[in-house]
Amino acid sequence: MCGILGGVNSDFTPEHLNRLAHRGPDQSEFITQYAPCGAEIQLGQNRLNIVDRTDIVLPVQIDDTTILFNGEIYNYQEIRTDLEQLGWTFRTRTDTEVALAAYIHWGPDCLQRFNGMFALAIWDGKKFFLARDRMGQKPLFCRMDRRGFAFASEIKAFDDLQLVQQDLFDLFEFVLNEHTIYRNIYAVKPGHYLTYDVERGSWNSQAYWDIEHRSAKRITDPRVAVNSFIELLEDAVQLRMQADVDVTLFLSGGLDSSLIAGLSGVREAYTCQFDEFRSIVNELHYVDDLSHRLGIDVNVVTPTRDEFLHDLAPLSYHLEMPTGSFSAFPLYRLAKACHDGGYKVVLSGEGSDELFGGYVRNEQLIADGHRTEDDKSRHYAAMLGRYGGSDLDRFCRMASRAGLTDAALMKMFLIGQWDERRSALENICYIESRIFLQPLLQMSDRMCMAHSVEPRCPFLDHRIVEFAFSLDDSLRLRDGTGKWIVQEAARRVLPDGCRVLTRTIKDGLPAPINLWMHGQHSFDRRYWNSIMMAECMKSLLGRRPDSRPLTPCPNVDAAVIVGTAHERDSAIATHGADMETTHVIG
């Protein structure tokens, strides 16, 4: 994992690269070259040495072509073997050198061969080639204005940042695709590559991957589907266990991380439990049971209000743009604990709910919003009135944080993503995976890399993503419950009697932020989003990761707990979309 930056006649210096030191504290190098047209080229990289822990010459070059690389290509050994058979030789054991050789040999088609998470920039003496992994796990931003062209792993590398009105952020509470909240700063879109011709000053962006509609290749046999899924996931996990350092796991009380634990063989894991939630959202019952059965040592992180007030400034500095989620704080603390425990790599369960229909809100939508008396429907009673109209209309009414107010605007944006050839469930999983997963991956990357810890997500192996969209709907959603195939896989992989196998409702990763800041038993995110926008602007524009901590609302006793289960149910009924309750989040 690394932090990279570069550009053409940019203002970048080694000091700018130092702003990304947390992404790669083991090595750092900044160089200047000149293009044939006379333009000055800046190239910089920080390195976190996970594969080949010896120091290497940075940036990696083959002849006159240079690569800056962030991330991991998990199947690089296979690609290296293919290239060696074609006559290539290598000086290092890194996936970075393999990626560069693959580009020189196959051009942009090399991206189709990569199984991994990455953001890369290649300079061949005439043009830059930038690319980002299929799902957008690794960040890469560009600035294109009168100054010229520059790119970096994080926005904080750029000078003279200016906030810009972003309607999409106001609508979604996060930014997506190429959009940011800063003027002339754009993200390379997930699954895309970008070329910049230095002499002409022109650029072009092109998609190299998307989730295909596979109606002709539908998998309908449950046994075949479950066997294939377990085989794919086991391989994805083992690929992500490859490292020259020890690997740990974020273990919650849900199926996703439990399944990864069962397949990975990790011996140590980290979990989060707020003291304020022990009586109502307690993961430890399930974590302790599974860890005992699998022989895993679990470190329990218990974030406090004082830690939140202390962490808010550096947290927002690293986050850069709000994600509309309370989970940033517990993730920040989990990553810190991993780092303090000596780990550089952690496995995580992101993506399973989006790919396999695990969110209760979508179960309710597919069920046409019929009122029932089960626990799930009671949690979401306030949301059921939002249903009516087309499948897309109903999805937008559910997804809009402002209820019906912004649903029409959301529909205008999402209508291009909604394919009538797909079923409603397939469309929902597609939009969840391609749109609503983006802020979660942003949050995971920034909170982990703030502590020089690399998160790896087996469920986001592109083979599993493509497999998910080849499934018949009945293998995702059955008897009103999502992620059927994940549950069946867990029953085969995990020891008999595991408590997680009988768990019917799984809470996400909530944090008592509103309780600490406002004394409210609420999961409404309006205050949180306002706070985070202000803190991101203050910390990033001023580049003050050590800014003074936020002052809490007076008269809020730190010992006050979130309240009874009845009070929580009432809060969820009022703010159902803001407190996700699901069977299967990892």
In the structure, what pLDDT confidence band is assigned to residue 517 with cuts at 50, 70 and 90? confident
Token code pair at residue 381: 């009673």
* Residue 432 pLDDT: 96
Quick one: pLDDT at residue 367?
73
With a cut of 80, say whether residue 506 has pLDDT above it.
Answer: no
Instruction: Give pLDDT, residue 217.
Output: 79
Given a cut of 90, whether residue 288 has pLDDT beyond it is yes
What pLDDT is attached to residue 309?
A: 92
Instruction: Give, to the nearest 10 degrees, the angle between helix 484-493 and helix 255-264.
Output: 40
Compare 39 and 361 and report the one with higher pLDDT.
39
Question: Does residue 308 carry a pLDDT above 60?
Answer: yes
What pLDDT was estimated at residue 505? 76
The angle at the Cα of 544, spanning 539 to 545, to the nearest 5 degrees, equals: 85
Average pLDDT over residues 28-33: 96
Q: What is the dihedral of CA 382, 383, 384, 390, to 10 degrees?
A: 150
pLDDT bin (cut points 50, 70, 90) of residue 523 is low
Q: Is the pLDDT of residue 581 over 60?
A: no
Q: If you search the block for the tokens 């996400």, which residue do you land on?
A: 508
Per the CB < 8 A criterion, the answer to whether 438 and 445 are in contact is no
At residue 123, the 3 state secondary structure works out as strand
Identify the weakest region by mean pLDDT among 65-74, 87-96, 411-420, 437-446.
Answer: 411-420
The predicted structure's pLDDT at residue 583: 27
Number of C-beta neighbours around residue 519 at 10 A = 15
Arithmetic mean of pLDDT, 530-552 = 66
Q: How far apart are CA 55 and CA 57, in angstroms?
A: 7
DSSP 208-231: ---PPP-GGG-B--HHHHHHHHHH
Name the average pLDDT for the chain.
87
pLDDT at 364: 77
pLDDT at 403: 65
Share of the chain above pLDDT 70, in %: 87
Distance CA 257, CA 353 (A): 12
Q: Which helix (H) or strand (E) holds 514?
A: helix 513-518
Q: Quick check: 496 and 293 in contact, CB under 8 A?
A: no
Nearest-CA neighbor of 538 among 260, 315, 340?
A: 315
- Predicted confidence at residue 112, as pLDDT, reads 97
Looking at CATH, the fold of the domain delimited by 218-355+436-582 is given as: Rossmann fold (3.40.50)
Confidence check: pLDDT of 284 > 60: yes
* Per-residue pLDDT at 423 exceeds 60: yes
User: What mean pLDDT do residues 28-34 have?
Assistant: 96
pLDDT band at 573 (very low <50, low <70, confident <90, very high): very low
Helix residue spans in 341-437 (DSSP H): 352-356, 360-366, 375-379, 391-399, 407-414, 424-431
CATH topology of domain 2-207: Glutamine Phosphoribosylpyrophosphate, subunit 1, domain 1 (3.60.20)
Is the pLDDT reported for residue 574 higher than 70?
no
Residue scoring higher pLDDT (507 or 538): 538
d(CA 157, CA 141): 10
Rg (CA), the chain: 23
Asked whether the CA dihedral 526, 528, 534, 540 is positive or negative, the reply is: negative
Residue 272 three-state SS: strand
Span 400-407, mean pLDDT? 76
Q: What is the DSSP letter of 436?
A: I
Q: Same CATH fold, 218-355+436-582 and 2-207? A: no
Distance between CA atoms of residues 534 and 316, nearest Å: 9
Please tell me which of 215-224, 235-244, 388-397 the model is most confident about, judged by mean pLDDT: 235-244
For the chain, give every domain's residue range: 2-207, 218-355+436-582
